[in-house]
Amino acid sequence: MAEDQRITRIKNLVGGFPDFPKPGILFRDIFPVLRNPGAFKELINVVVEHVQKTAPDVEIIVGLDSRGFIFGPMVAHALGIGFVPVRKSGKLPGETISVAYSLEYGKDRFEMQKDSLKADQKVIIIDDLIATGGTMAAACELVGLLKANIVQCFVVIELEDLNGKSKLSAPFKSLIKYSNSDQTI
């Protein structure tokens, strides 16, 4: 099946929930895709093929707590490279670096272990979704503090109207885009 058709099939399974977790937020739910074994497999295959095509020399995948932990390790495993987590605060042992950030419906704090990346290591940061871009920008800041080289920020879903990618200086790619004119559910 062509990539576009596979992406449409996946998009049709993503859920839409108005006013969750707060009034005014339209929550895009990736979990129905994972419930469907064929679509889940297709999604991972599309992501892996995309990375092989656009960043064949990537050395390590960084995934974001928590929905980025669904995709990051699977992609790393398929590519035969390692995985490093960015976690919400207080969850990682040892020496850590930390940064505060805001997202579409709140504020939080991210951390990484100081020894988790090497200087100049080629990194792709993976998450399920970008909305305002606060989360991905915070992850980029942490990876930058460790002096690694961000070759790409990748998300499955982009909420285009919130223009999160404008907060990023690294190359950015999303598979599925939503704008306000898309159907709610």
Contact 175, 46 (CB under 8 A): yes
- 104 labelled catalytic: yes
Note whether 135 binds ligand PRP by CB under 6 A. Answer: yes
Round to whole Å and give the CA distance between 158 and 163. Answer: 9
If the CB atoms of residues 120 and 161 are measured against ligand PRP, the closer one turns out to be: 161
Coil, strand or helix at 35: helix
Helix %, strand %, coil % for the chain, to 5?
Answer: 35, 35, 30
Provide the minimum distance between the beta carbon of 129 and ligand ADE in the complex, in angstroms, as a whole number.
5
Note whether 28 binds ligand ADE by CB under 6 A. Answer: yes
87 residue type, one letter: R
Place of tokens 């709140």: 106
Give the x/- contact pattern for ligand PRP in 72-111, rule: CB under 6 A: -------------------------------xx---x---
- 158 labelled catalytic: no
Note whether 34 binds ligand ADE by CB under 6 A. Answer: no
Round to whole Å and give the CA distance between 71 and 126. Answer: 7
Candidates 42, 59, 67, 158; catalytic one: 67
Note whether 25 binds ligand ADE by CB under 6 A. Answer: yes
Q: Select from 83, 173, 97, 92 the least CA-distant residue to 138.
A: 97
Note whether 175 binds ligand ADE by CB under 6 A. Answer: no
Dihedral sign computed on CA atoms, order 51, 132, 163, 121: negative
Pick the stretch among 36-44, 47-55, 91-99, 124-132 that binds ligand PRP (CB under 6 A).
124-132
Q: Which residues bind ligand PRP (CB under 6 A)?
A: 64-67, 103-104, 108, 127-135, 164
Q: Which residues bind ligand ADE (CB under 6 A)?
A: 25-28, 103-104, 129, 131, 159
